[in-house]
């Protein structure tokens, strides 16, 4: 086989791979050390671990080991007539993503050709000595990149806060939006902050309950995603707002949860805050009990009906 030509092909392809988003952008990073760019990939100082920059908590980024080693396996196809190309499969579009842990890229390349003297058309595996990304590919004399999309497969890493990115359905419209503080006033699981008694509001009826039976207390509703909207926004608008889905955002990320308007909040007048269950507010910020009031929350009330409303 003409290994000099193959070596040149490898150099060309490696140069192309270096430009792909899935390729690490740094070498020599340290596991659990701080980093700055969420989702960035890097090799650790040993050159054997594939790391990704991810949230260690709600506010800081650290390098996490993906659990995957970093190496290259090359396959050489002999005497094929197929045009040389490098192909990366397109992942399916989604309307929402959940970032519960970083993900490890699996990069797949289509068959390419390499000029060799043998007439054998089988594929020979040739391991590369240096630690590199786990890539399976056919080496070609001419490496033409026809796509640079990457399919990601999930890989469990160190536990980090779950932040989900969602959006209203295509048919949803925004009825009211606002920003301000988040507070808490109930919790159907009985959760309280240290030293507090169980919240009496658990056994109360919300302003969205019907005026005649059957009606249910918060505890009977058994739904910690109920939120209370400013009383001056709710007055005269219950039929329009009660039971509607609410999209909550915090620190630039949409918070996971099927939040729904089902109560009025006097202290929220002016639309400057939203009242939650303690469990929901701790999902938004784990320091909710310490803070008491969580600032910097954004919300959008959509026209999507989650709980049927009866006046």
The label of the residue with tokens 């040389």 reads 84
Give 280-310 pLDDT, tens digit per residue.
999 999 999 999 999 999 999 999 999 999 9
Residue of 58 and 233 predicted with greater confidence: 233
Residue of 23 and 183 predicted with greater confidence: 183
Which residues touch 80 (CB under 8 Å, ≥6 apart)? 111, 113, 121
Could you tell me the two tokens for 293? Answer: 């009031």
89 confidence band (pLDDT: 50, 70, 90): very low
Give yes or no for residue 178 having a pLDDT over 70. Answer: yes
Give 70-82 pLDDT, tens digit per residue.
544 334 444 444 4
DSSP annotation of 200: G
Give yes or no for residue 179 having a pLDDT over 60. Answer: yes
Give yes or no for residue 93 having a pLDDT over 70. Answer: no
171 confidence band (pLDDT: 50, 70, 90): low
Give 215-254 pLDDT, tens digit per residue.
999 999 999 999 999 999 999 999 999 999 999 999 999 9
Rounded CA separation 295/279 (Å): 16
What's the pTM?
0.47
Rounded CA separation 88/107 (Å): 7
Give yes or no for residue 125 having a pLDDT over 70. Answer: no
Give 262-285 pLDDT, tens digit per residue.
999 999 999 999 999 999 999 999
Tell me the average pLDDT across 194-216: 93
Q: What are the structural domains of the chain?
A: 3-161 (no CATH), 165-305 (2.40.40.10)
Phi, psi of 157 (to 5 degrees): -125, -165
Tell me the average pLDDT across 38-47: 74
Which residues touch 189 (CB under 8 Å, ≥6 apart)? 224, 279
Q: Which of 16, 15, 8 is nearest to 146 (CA)?
A: 16
Rounded CA separation 71/75 (Å): 13
């Amino acid at each position: 086989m003409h290994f000099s030509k193959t070596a040149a092909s490898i150099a060309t392809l490696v140069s192309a791979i270096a430009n792909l988003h899935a390729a690490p952008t740094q070498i020599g990073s340290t596991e659990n050390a701080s980093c700055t760019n969420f989702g960035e990939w890097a090799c650790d100082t040993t050159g054997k671990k594939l790391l990704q920059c991810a949230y260690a908590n709600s506010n800081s980024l650290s390098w996490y080991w993906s659990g995957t080693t970093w190496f290259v396996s090359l396959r050489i196809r002999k005497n094929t007539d197929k045009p040389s190309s490098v192909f990366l499969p397109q992942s399916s579009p989604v309307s929402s993503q959940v970032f519960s842990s970083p993900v490890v890229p699996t990069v797949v390349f289509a068959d390419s050709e390499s000029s060799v003297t043998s007439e054998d058309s089988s594929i020979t595996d040739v391991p590369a000595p240096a630690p590199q990304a786990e890539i399976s590919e056919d080496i070609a004399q001419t490496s033409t990149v026809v796509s640079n999309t990457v399919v990601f497969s999930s890989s469990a890493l160190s536990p980090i806060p779950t932040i989900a990115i969602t959006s209203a359905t295509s048919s949803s419209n925004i009825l009211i939006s606002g920003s301000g503080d988040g507070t808490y006033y109930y919790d159907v699981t009985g959760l309280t902050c240290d030293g507090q008694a169980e919240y009496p509001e658990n056994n109360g009826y919300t302003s969205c309950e019907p005026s005649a039976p059957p009606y249910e207390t918060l505890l009977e509703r058994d739904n910690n995603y109920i939120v209370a909207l400013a009383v001056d926004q709710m007055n005269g608008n219950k039929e329009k707002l009660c039971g509607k889905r609410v999209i909550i955002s915090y620190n630039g990320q949409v918070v996971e949860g099927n939040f729904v308007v089902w109560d009025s909040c006097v202290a929220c007048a002016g639309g400057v805050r939203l009242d939650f269950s303690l469990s929901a507010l701790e999902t938004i910020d784990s320091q909710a009990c310490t803070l008491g009031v969580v600032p910097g929350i954004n919300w959008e009330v959509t026209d999507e009906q989650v709980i049927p409303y009866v006046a």
